[in-house]
Structure 1
Amino acid sequence: MSKTIMLIHGAWLNAHCWEGFKARYEARDYNVIAPAWPFDDRSPSELRASPNPALAQVGINELINHYDRLIRALPEPPILIGHSFGGTVMQHLLDRGLGVAGVAIDPAPTSGVLVGWQTIKSTFPVFFSWRSWRRVMTMSRKFFSTRFAQTLPAAQVNTMYDRYIVPTPGKIYWDGLVSAAGKIRWDNPNRAPLLLIGGGIDMIAQAKMTKAIFEKQKQAPSKTELKIYPNRSHWTCLQPGWEEVADFALDWAARNARALKNVPVYAA
């Protein structure tokens, strides 16, 4: 069984958001890698103060290929766990035959899946911002407190924003709109087992969209399951009770991961 885990973060966060998951999994004797997106490997405060202009050119294909290279350099195929846009990237990596199991937590929209109104509304700050397709964007504190992490007590909003939120490339939103990464092969026989986790009050990646992705992904012959937490938001990996989500994700992945000998030879 693989003892390696790769954690893939989503938009508006960097690898710092995985600090709880990483420590918890390392306490269970896993080797945990949580790489940042290209040009995102600094503290959130530094990134907000001075984002690298090159970040504006990072899109979904750059991210998929970035993690693809990192995975192929590992000594063994890992369990892949992705949140939000990272959950979408992770599904493309599974589609390439990578990983022994995958968990997508609150996955962002995936080509071929209908998007709900709340998810559409959550894209407005990017799509209604001129030239956002070639700009580094910054999340407002209001958006953070009302849509991204709406379960946070008001007294914690500024602290959590300052600790975790980073700029993100508008390009990834436009790439999603035009399906720049292409379609996932829903019936792919080489796809590793996959768990989809959604939040019932998620306003970024609505639970009904996670369910729709599940309906597509279950066409593959490998095991595919769905778990919805009714009272969890998009902030679920940092929201109180995140430990339950972290443990459920890893327990499922460890229990259902394909044997290392059954992982296809990596193909570029």
Structure 2
Amino acid sequence: MQPVRTPVVFIHGLWLHASAWSPWLEFFAEAGYDPIAPGWPNEPDTVESARADPDAVAGTGIDDAVAHYAKIIESLPVNPILIGHSFGGLVAEKLLGQGIGAAAVAIDPAQIKGVLVLPLAQVRSALPALKNPANLHRSVSLSRAEFRFAIGNTLTEEESDRLYDTWAIPAPARPLFQVSAANFVPHSEAKVDTENAGRGPLLMISGTDDHTVPDASTRSSFRQYPQQGAVTELKQFEGRGHSLVLDHGWRDVATAALRWLQEKGF
């Protein structure tokens, strides 16, 4: 009987389809893992169908995504590794804090409750969703220009537009409202159990030129975790933006995540 390959659950963020993880799935499968990349609740299976039915994901919140992925994880043969990007990183942090997942890598993770820094670039990146309070119950799409500022700002216009045309989809605006109000809501869905000393190890990764989740925000989230207790580490990629998981340099980030996991015994 062959041993069970360690599952890796990839969790994407807003405005990108789950299939954007395809290169990572192949990379981790070749390294001996059993990777999957499920979409968010009610997310259509393809980019084209997601664009055709934007209301499918409207109103989805952070805890909806957490419960969705927790249910998927329950069906796996062993406790998986979690790798999330942007709001997927926040979801991975929440799951790990709940004791779900053996280890996690949170890449440019959306800020958790307790983070006070709010760079102007981050505000501008979120404006397509936050500018209209009615968007709380809607899905929102980015234009090519908005995508380039928020996600592809370190890329050429040509590469940014190519990524937009290939992977961009409408996203629920609710998580952005939840994060923006987190420090004023006692039981915010952006709250993460950073005090759980029994959880698995966590690696946080930031791009120093990220507009959507600036490096200062990731470093502030990192500081919410105690220095003692469960392993929490931070790695920064100089000059990289929010597109670092899917642009021409994605393999550098994937390799760093893989090596860290292997160093931790996974």
3-state SS, counterpart of residue 244 of structure 2:
coil
Residues 112 and 190, structure 2, Cα contact 8 Å, conserved in 1: no
Pair 1:167 & 2:175 matched: no
Q: Greater shift after overlay, 67-76 or 156-165?
A: 156-165
Alignment partner, residue 65 of structure 2 = 63
Structure 2 counterpart of 1:102, one-letter code: A
Task: Give how far 1:177 is off.
Answer: 2.7
SS at match of 2:224: helix
Shift of 1:40: 1.4
Is 1:153 the counterpart of 2:156 in the alignment? yes
The structural deviation recorded for 1:114 is: 1.7
Structure 2: gaps of 5 or more residues = 183-187
State the 1:17 CA deviation: 1.0
Number of residue equivalences:
257
Distance 1:221 1:145, change over 3 A: same
The corresponding residue for 1:245 is 253
TM normalised by structure 2 equals 0.91
Of 246, 253, 264, which residue of structure 2 is paired with 1:256?
A: 264
Q: Give 1:257 shift.
A: 5.0
| 2:150 aligned with 1:142 | no
Name the residue aligned to 1:262. none
Q: Kindly report which structure 2 residues correspond to 1:106-255, keeping only aligned pairs within 5 A, or say none.
A: 106-117=108-119, 118-179=121-182, 180-181=188-189, 183-219=191-227, 221-255=229-263
- How far residue 219 of structure 1 moved from its aligned partner, in angstroms, is 4.0
Q: Does 1:6 align with 2:9?
A: yes
CA distance in 2, matches of 1:257, 1:81: 16
Answer yes or no: is the 8 Å Cα contact 1:2–1:100 preserved in 2.
no
Contact persistence 2:108–2:213 (CA under 8 A) = yes
Name segments (4+ residues, structure 1) moved above 4 Å: none
Indicate the residue corresponding to 2:48 in structure 1: 45
Given that 1:198 and 1:210 are in contact with CA atoms closer than 8 Å, whether structure 2 keeps it comes out as yes
- Taking the aligned partners of 1:101 and 1:229, their CA distance within structure 2 comes to 21
Percent identity over the alignment is 35
CA deviation vs aligned residue, 1:45-93 (integer Å, no higher than 9, x gap): 2211332x24112110100000111111110001111000000011000
Q: What is the CA deviation profile of residues 201-235 of structure 1, one whole-angstrom value per residue up to 9, with x for unaligned ones?
A: 00010111111111112445111111001111000
**What SS is found at the alignment partner of 1:198?**
strand
Amino acid at match of 1:240: H
Please tell me the residue identity of whatever aligns with 1:207: D
Q: CA RMSD in A?
A: 1.7
Q: Which moved more, 1:179-188 or 1:86-95?
A: 179-188
Does the 8 Å CA contact 1:87/1:107 hold for their aligned counterparts?
yes
- SS of 1:68's partner is helix
Report the equivalent of 2:101.
Answer: 99
For 1:72, give the aligned amino acid: E
SS for the counterpart of 2:243 is coil
Alignment partners' CA distance in 2, 1:182 and 1:207: 18
Q: What residue identity is the alignment partner of 2:237? A: Y
Q: Which residue of 2 aligns with 1:86?
A: 88
Shift of 1:31: 0.3
